[in-house]
Amino acid sequence: MFEIELARGAKAGGGAFVTAFPSVGMVGTIAGNFIVESLKMERIAYVLSDEVPPAALVQEGVPTYPLRILGMKRVSIMTSEFQIPLALSTRLAKDILAWTASNGYDLIVGLEGLMSSQEPQGTEKASTRVFGVGSTEHARDIISKAGVEQFKMGMITGVSGAMLSEGERTGRDVICLLVEANAMYPDARGAARLVESVSKVLPSLQVDLQELLKEADMIEENVKGTVEKTKEMLAARQSQTERLGRSYMYG
């Protein structure tokens, strides 16, 4: 259902593979895009599927495929501005694990938000916590050495949850990092804490968090606008599909 196609002239770098999709507070998307832009990552692959919205995200005049993979050296990031439907999460997770296994990636890291009822205090959420879950003993050891608190009990759904389950079943090293975030708005400050933890799990990935915090308000508004437009487009597409279905059904 999902086909990963390398961009012209690109090669998969192997190493660590990060997934960054919309979640609570949009922290995954914000964190992923910030890392991509900070490190000037280049497009290496596209994720093709009939389920991907027929759209192009335009950034600084350049069209971008909705579900894409960017990379630099030994770190690659798959990111998107649209929510992966739960019904497709297991299929995408299995396709990601299959593709990364055949392209030399030995660690998968999913970025997620964790529902929090806390209100932001000042310019930073000082009490915001980040948790980690690992599919294997080795993955859990990486989390401990990075100083990230282990997520002891709960349910993780979506692509990250499916990758953890499949990783545990097959012995692949999969880590999910979850940051407390407020679900009512895009949370760039929560995303900054997520980026900080990713940098500890992947020491080769070093970015300047001050820039993210300085531009937090603008980033939150930009992400909110993009995500809302994507939701409207998906809703319109679903409505059209339902109308066509009824017309075929009833003639």
pLDDT tens-digit map of 156-193: 999 999 999 999 999 999 999 999 987 877 888 888 89
Q: Give the pLDDT confidence of 61-111 residue by residue, as tens digits.
A: 888 888 999 999 899 999 988 888 899 999 999 999 999 999 999 999 999
H-helix segments, 77-173: 86-102, 137-145, 158-170
The total domain count for the chain is 1
User: Burial of 218 by CB count in 10 Å (0-12 exposed, 13-18 middle, 19+ buried)?
Assistant: exposed
pLDDT of residue 236: 67
Q: Give the amino acid at 126.
A: A
More confident residue, 244 or 74: 74
Range of the domain at 114: 3-250
CATH code of 78's domain: 3.40.50.10900
Q: pLDDT tens across 138-159, in order?
A: 999 999 999 999 999 989 999 9
